[in-house]
Amino acid sequence: MLLGAAALLAVTEQLTGLDVFALPFVATAAVLAMAPRAPLARPAAVLISYGSCTPIAVAITAAAGPSVWTATAAAVSSVVAMLLLEAPHAPAAVCAAFIGLTGTSPGYPLHTVLPAVSIVLGTALVSGRLLPRYDYRPSWRGCGHRSAVRARSTAARS
């Protein structure tokens, strides 16, 4: 799965010029490959975390300018957002730090993050269907610990 996602990211970057072969997205592929059943690997966690972290980082970087301090503020703010949204996915914080360090265009979440995350998630979902020993299921409900606790307590009451 990891090899397929990394190869698709590399080919996409070569053919389109989009910066999709970047550390956060390869790290996401690695998480999905090594721990496909973990809460941080769930599709909802990946989508919610990147969907919340990248706009936060773009806004902070637009206000403060790219620097190590901006990268730090973007990463910390992103972790707080992921905790509040109960959508943990550490590579999204790396993406936020990257945005804060290098500065990106306001369109970065749409023209880079969306295609990269789509490639990685798509590869994982297809691999989950085709590879017999790779168990990646499209679980869209309840990303966080509190959601899991609520689900267990609801099931116990039933």
Q: How many CB atoms lie within 10 A of CB 88?
A: 21
What pTM, to 2 d.p., does this model score? 0.86
For residue 144, the enclosing domain spans 2-157
Mind listing the pLDDT tens digit for each residue in 82-130?
999 999 999 999 999 999 999 989 999 999 999 999 999 999 999 999 9
| Average pLDDT of the chain to the nearest whole number | 90
1 Cβ neighbours under 8 A, 6+ residues apart: 29, 32, 33, 36, 123, 124, 127, 131, 134, 136
pLDDT confidence of residue 139? 72
Q: Please give the tally of structural domains in the chain.
A: 1
Residues composing the chain: 158
Model confidence at 73, in pLDDT bands (50, 70, 90)? Answer: very high
Mind listing the pLDDT tens digit for each residue in 125-137?
999 999 999 999 8
pLDDT confidence of residue 144? 57
CA distance 97 to 66: 10
